[in-house]
Amino acid sequence: MTTTPLHHRKIDLQSTTDLHYLQTNLTRSAAQKIDLHFPPAAAPRDGSEDGLKKKVEAYVSGYIDRTFEFARANVTVNGMDVDVGARGKSRVGDGELGEERFERLGNTYAVACADLLRLKAGVPEVVGRCERAARVAAEVEMG
Question: How do residues 78-134 score in pLDDT, each as one tens digit?
Answer: 888 876 553 445 444 444 444 555 566 677 877 888 889 999 999 999 999 999 999
Mapping DSSP onto H, E and C, the string for 33-99 reads HHHHHCCHHHCCCCCCCCHHHHHHHHHHHHHHHHHHHHHHHHEEECCEECEECCCCCEEECCEECCC
**pLDDT value of position 114:** 86
Whether residue 92 sits in one domain with residue 106: no
> Strand 11-13 vs strand 75-77: parallel, antiparallel, or unpaired?
parallel
Whether residue 126 sits in one domain with residue 65: no
- 48-80 pLDDT, tens digit per residue, is 777 888 899 999 999 999 998 888 888 888 888
What pTM value is reported for the model?
0.51
- 3 pLDDT band (50/70/90 cuts)? low
Total number of domains constituting the chain: 2
Whether residue 131 sits in one domain with residue 77: no
Whether residue 134 sits in one domain with residue 83: no
Whether residue 116 sits in one domain with residue 91: no
Domain boundary among 96, 113, 131: 96
Could you tell me which residues are beta bridge partners of residue 95?
92
